[in-house]
Amino acid sequence: MTRDETLLGKRFIDLSRQAQQKGIVLFSDFLNLNEQNILRQNISELYCNFEMSGGFPNSERQMIAFLPDALCYTWDYPISCLKITPLNRKFADELTHRDVLGSLMNLGIERSMLGDILVEDNMIYVFCQEKIADYIQEELTRIKHTSVQLEKTAASEVNIVPKTQAMEGIITSNRLDSVVACICKISRSQANEWIRGGKVFINSREVLNTTYECKASEVISVRFVGRFLFQGTSGETRKGRLKIQYEKYI
């Protein structure tokens, strides 16, 4: 574990201690998968329970809520959802996740203050910390060459379904190293290095065991590569190898 990761673990422990002592709910920033895993590595040292949310179901970037035992008030996550649309669709660029994130970072906003960014046909939803929502609304007027308008919206109104590309492959077994090698188009030895190096997550949890047996409907995330929905096997080849089906999130 790096120095920064160790410090983050200590930060989680301290937030849980403060929440328990003060009897209030305290929140982390938005966490990526690796940071979420650091939390799980420190569960035994936390002073109280916790919950996690990114503002909508199946979010990847999530915020921790540390919950004291003696909690006597209702609470909600300090997460806002901003809907971004072009002022003139006819002359709008085809915007990507990278375009949106780049424009937000140019406003001086740290990545930890931003949750997931959902983009589909120039309909964009940005989840962010509540305290910066007004600032983004006022300052974000253009993405690339496209003038945009922003409004706060309820997360329940977000109806974007992640796009996926159906794909197939052939593996020797359902072992994680074999599946990762197939879906990432790398060698088995390289897949083993990535898994042992903490780059592979299943349903948002780090898995270091290369022999883990993958199951249908599990989401496999590989850092710096992407996310995949493993759908399971669909038969065998003449040589007895397994045919698999999976979807790549695009």
Q: What is the pLDDT of residue 82?
A: 97
105 band by pLDDT with thresholds 50, 70 and 90: very high
Helices in the chain by DSSP H: which ranges?
Answer: 3-22, 33-41, 97-105, 130-139, 176-184, 188-196
Considering only 153-162, 176-185, 206-215, 223-232, which range has the smallest mean pLDDT?
A: 153-162
Considering only 125-129, 203-207, 209-213, which range has the smallest mean pLDDT?
A: 203-207
pLDDT at residue 1 is higher than 80: no
48 in Cβ contact with 69 (< 8 Å): yes
Question: What is the dihedral angle through the alpha carbons of 116, 203, 226, 78, rounded to the nearest 10 degrees?
Answer: 10
In the numeric block, the tokens 């960014």 are attached to 117
Distance CA 47, CA 69 (A): 9
What domains lie within the chain, and their CATH numbers? 3-67 (3.30.1370), 79-157 (3.30.70.330), 164-249 (3.10.290.10)
Distance CA 228, CA 211 (A): 18
Q: What is the pLDDT of residue 161?
A: 78
Question: Mean per-residue pLDDT for 16-23?
Answer: 97
Q: Identify the helix (H) or strand (E) that includes residue 125.
A: strand 123-129
162 band by pLDDT with thresholds 50, 70 and 90: confident
Q: Which phi and psi angles does 184 have, rounded to 5°?
A: -100, -5
- Quote the mean pLDDT of the chain: 95
Q: What is the pLDDT of residue 177?
A: 98
Considering only 54-63, 135-144, 175-184, which range has the smallest mean pLDDT?
A: 54-63
Considering only 7-11, 65-69, 145-149, 158-162, which range has the smallest mean pLDDT?
A: 158-162
Question: Mean per-residue pLDDT for 96-116?
Answer: 96
Around 241, how many Cα atoms within 13 Å sit in the side-chain half-sphere?
A: 10
In the numeric block, the tokens 């375009």 are attached to 99
Distance CA 25, CA 16 (A): 9
Q: What is the pLDDT of residue 55?
A: 95
List, for residues 142-153, the tens digit of each pLDDT value: 999 999 999 999
